Structure 1
Amino acid sequence: MGVFTSKPARPAQVPTDTIIPLHSKDDTASLRPFVLDFALCFDDVLDPEKLRSSFERLMEIGDWRKLGARLRLNDSGKLEYHIPASFDAQRPAFRYSHMKYETSISEHPLASKLPKPTSRPAVLNSTDEFQSLLRRKDGPTKLHDYLNSDDGQLSLHIVSFSDATLITLTWPHTLLDGMGRRALYDAWICVLNGREADVLPLQGFSTDPLATLGTQPTEPYALEKYQIKGFAFFIFAVRYAYELIWYPKEEMRIICLPAAHLNTMRSTALSELSACAPDTDTDTTPFLSDGDVISAWLARLALSPTLPQTSQRTVLLMNAFGLRGVLANDLLPPHKAYIANASNSVHALLPAREILTRPLSYTASQVRRSIAQQGTRAQIEALAAIERETYASCGRSPVFGDSSMKLIVVSNWTKTKLFELDFSAAVVRVGVPLEGRRHGVGRPRYVHSCPYSNGVPIRNAFSGFRKGCGGKLLDEWDVEGRDLEKD
Structure 2
Amino acid sequence: MGVFTSKPARPAKVPTDTTIPLHSKDDTKSLRPFVLDFTLCFDDVLDAEKLRNSLERLMEIGDWRKLGARLRLNDAGKLEYHIPASFDAQRPAFRYSHMTYETSISEHPLASKLPKPTSRPAVLNNTDEFQSLLRLKDGPTKLEDYLNSDDGQLSLHIVSFSNATLITLTWPHTFLDAMGRRALYDAWIHVLNGREADVLPLHGFAADPLATLGTQPTEPYALEKHQIKGFAFFIFAIRYAFELICTHLNAMKATALSELSASSPDTDTKAKPFLSDGDVISAWLARLALSPTLPQSSTRTVLLMNAFGLRGVLANDLLPPHKAYIANASNSVHALLPAHEILTRPLSYTASQVRRSITQQGTRAQIEALAAIERATYTSSGRSPVFGDSSMKLIVISNWTKTKLFELDFSAAVVKAGVELDRRSHGVGRPRYVHSCPYSNGVPIRNAFPVFGRDAEGNYWMSGTLRVETWRKIEEGFKKEL
Please report the TM-score for the alignment, with normalisation by the length of structure 1.
0.95
**Partner residue of 2:295 out of 308, 313, 318:** 308
Q: Deviations over 1:139-189 (max 9, x none)?
A: 000000000000000000000000000000000000000000000000000
**Aligned mates of 2:145, 2:330 — CA distance in 1:** 25
Task: Write out aligned runs for 1:40-439 (5 A).
Answer: 40-244=40-244, 259-279=246-266, 283-439=270-426
Q: Which residue of 1 aligns with 2:466?
A: 482
Q: Which residue of 2 aligns with 1:35?
A: 35
**Aligned mates of 2:75, 2:49 — CA distance in 1:** 40
**Structure 1 residue 282: deviation in Å?**
5.3
Q: Deviations over 1:409-463 (max 9, x none)?
A: 0011011001111101101111101111111111111000000011111210001
**Structure 1 residue 281: deviation in Å?**
5.2
**Aligned mates of 1:230, 1:3 — CA distance in 2:** 39
Whichever residue aligns with residue 371 of structure 2, its letter is A
Whichever residue aligns with residue 476 of structure 1, its letter is W
**Structure 1 residue 468: deviation in Å?**
4.0
**Aligned mates of 2:236, 2:436 — CA distance in 1:** 30
| 1:466 and 2:453 matched | yes
**Structure 1 residue 306: deviation in Å?**
1.1
Q: Identity over the aligned pairs, expressed in percent?
A: 86
**Aligned mates of 1:465, 1:166 — CA distance in 2:** 16
Does structure 2 retain, via aligned residues, the 8 Å contact 1:466–1:473?
A: no
**Aligned mates of 1:384, 1:391 — CA distance in 2:** 10
Q: Deviations over 1:3-52 (max 9, x none)?
A: 43221111011111100000000000110010000000111100000000
**Structure 1 residue 467: deviation in Å?**
2.1
**Aligned mates of 2:440, 2:109 — CA distance in 1:** 27
**Structure 1 residue 2: deviation in Å?**
10
Range with greater deviation from structure 2 (226-235 or 34-43)? 226-235
**Structure 1 residue 280: deviation in Å?**
6.0
Instruction: Give the CA RMSD over aligned residues.
Output: 1.2
**Structure 1 residue 124: deviation in Å?**
0.6
**Aligned mates of 1:357, 1:50 — CA distance in 2:** 54
Q: Deviations over 1:86-110 (max 9, x none)?
A: 1110000100000000000000000
Q: Deviations over 1:188-222 (max 9, x none)?
A: 00110111111100000000000000000000000
Does structure 2 retain, via aligned residues, the 8 Å contact 1:25–1:341?
A: yes
Does structure 1 retain, via aligned residues, the 8 Å contact 2:142–2:439?
A: yes
Please report the TM-score for the alignment, with normalisation by the length of structure 2.
0.96
Q: Deviations over 1:251-303 (max 9, x none)?
A: xxxxxxxx110000000000000000014655310110000000000000001
**Aligned mates of 1:184, 1:339 — CA distance in 2:** 7
Whichever residue aligns with residue 64 of structure 1, its letter is W
Structure with higher strand content: 1
Unmatched tracts of structure 1, length 5 or more: 245-249, 251-258
Does structure 1 retain, via aligned residues, the 8 Å contact 2:241–2:444?
A: no
Whichever residue aligns with residue 463 of structure 2, its letter is D
**Aligned mates of 1:3, 1:238 — CA distance in 2:** 33
Say which SS state the counterpart of residue 397 (structure 2) adopts: strand
